[in-house]
């Protein structure tokens, strides 16, 4: 994978509240943010920020997925966090230094709502309920990251691979997700041959169907059973801290309710 940095292109008119964190805001709080939000198009493999780059915008994904990855001196990389329609990226790293502590790379093409960090911080500081929601999201993300540290140290690559496929599946419409073996191996921090062996076994068990560049989930229950306990642990944390970031929840604002899949 050869990531490339490019500016996000303006999107046609978008519904900002497709992002579930924005949808969870009460109408008056969202109204304070809305004038500052801009719809943008993000392309697969696009790099939003490189390590150490100044953070100028936060992004609220709609139907796109962005990973924060650590890049080592030898060129290898591994995922540290993933962001989808349940949250916001670029905000946690901007608390103090406003420097990216990893590479933000787009996994799946789609749209997002972008806002300048100065404007977002102004609204957070002036609107207590926005601030509280952001703090809940930050705590949930920290819990997810720390759980993943334990998961990477203890659980098998097969279990982690299932967790990762489920994580992508949760954030995208439909059952087919854009995943190459190369990209999946980089996110898991293992060799490509290891990923190929695991996905062949998962296909043999009829949990997934794969073809070039994509994986289709055909038995989600089977994937969940093969995944480790970390998927459920993170799920329960998000349900506790952010009950309105799920499609099956009853939201404070307009929400979609047709899909009960967890985003974790």
The CATH number of the domain where 70 resides is what? 2.60.120.10
If asked whether residues 24 and 112 sit together in one domain, one would say: yes
Assess if residue 251 is contained within a domain.
Answer: no
- Tokens representing 93? 């790293």
The CATH number assigned to the domain holding 189 equals 1.10.10.10
Assess if residue 96 is contained within a domain.
Answer: yes
Residue numbers of the domain that contains 86:
4-129
If asked whether residues 117 and 164 sit together in one domain, one would say: no
Assess if residue 27 is contained within a domain.
Answer: yes
If asked whether residues 103 and 187 sit together in one domain, one would say: no
> Among 75, 94, 129, which residue terminates a domain?
129
Assess if residue 200 is contained within a domain.
Answer: yes
If asked whether residues 109 and 179 sit together in one domain, one would say: no
Average pLDDT rounded to a whole number, residues 152-176: 89
> Among 63, 94, 129, which residue terminates a domain?
129
Contacts of 138 by beta carbon, 8 Å cutoff, 6+ apart: 91, 92
If asked whether residues 118 and 190 sit together in one domain, one would say: no
State the alpha helices, DSSP H only, in the chain.
Answer: 20-23, 27-33, 117-126, 128-154, 157-171, 181-188, 192-204, 220-226, 230-241
Angstrom distance (rounded) from CA 248 to CA 243: 9
Angstrom distance (rounded) from CA 43 to CA 68: 15
Contacts of 54 by beta carbon, 8 Å cutoff, 6+ apart: 98, 99, 100
If asked whether residues 68 and 176 sit together in one domain, one would say: no
Assess if residue 78 is contained within a domain.
Answer: yes
Which position has the higher pLDDT, 189 or 225? 225
The lowest-confidence range among 11-25, 35-49, 103-117 is 11-25
If asked whether residues 8 and 108 sit together in one domain, one would say: yes
If asked whether residues 89 and 168 sit together in one domain, one would say: no
pLDDT recorded at residue 5: 61
Assess if residue 258 is contained within a domain.
Answer: no
pLDDT recorded at residue 36: 96
- Number of structural domains the chain divides into: 2
Average pLDDT rounded to a whole number, residues 123-147: 92
Give 4's pLDDT tier (boundaries 50, 70, 90).
low
Average pLDDT rounded to a whole number, residues 114-133: 95
Assess if residue 16 is contained within a domain.
Answer: yes
pLDDT recorded at residue 247: 45
pLDDT recorded at residue 240: 87
pLDDT recorded at residue 244: 66
If asked whether residues 166 and 72 sit together in one domain, one would say: no
């Amino acid at each position: 994978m050869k990531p490339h940095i490019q500016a996000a292109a303006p999107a046609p008119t978008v519904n900002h509240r497709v992002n579930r964190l924005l949808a969870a805001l009460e109408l008056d709080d969202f109204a304070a943010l809305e004038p500052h939000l801009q719809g943008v198009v993000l392309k697969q493999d696009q790099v939003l920020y490189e390590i150490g780059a100044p953070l100028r915008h936060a992004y609220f994904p709609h139907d796109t997925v962005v990973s924060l990855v650590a890049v080592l001196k030898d060129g290898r990389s591994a995922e540290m966090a993933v962001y989808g329609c349940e949250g916001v990226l670029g905000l946690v790293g901007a608390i103090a230094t406003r420097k990216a502590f990893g590479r933000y790379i787009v996994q799946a093409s789609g749209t997002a709502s972008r806002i300048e960090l100065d404007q977002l911080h102004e609204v957070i500081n002036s609107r207590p309920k926005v601030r509280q929601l952001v703090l809940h999201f930050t705590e949930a993300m920290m819990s997810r990251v720390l759980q993943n540290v334990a998961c990477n140290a203890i659980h098998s690559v097969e279990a982690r691979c299932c967790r990762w496929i489920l994580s992508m599946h949760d954030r995208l419409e439909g059952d087919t997700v854009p995943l190459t073996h190369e990209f999946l191996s980089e996110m898991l921090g293992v060799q490509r041959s290891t990923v190929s062996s695991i996905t062949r076994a998962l296909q043999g068990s009829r949990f997934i169907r794969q073809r070039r560049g994509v994986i289709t989930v055909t038995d989600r229950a089977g994937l969940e059973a093969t995944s480790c306990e970390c998927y459920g642990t993170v799920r329960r944390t998000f349900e506790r801290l952010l009950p309105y970031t799920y499609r099956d929840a009853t939201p404070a604002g307009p929400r979609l309710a047709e899909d009960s899949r967890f985003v974790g």
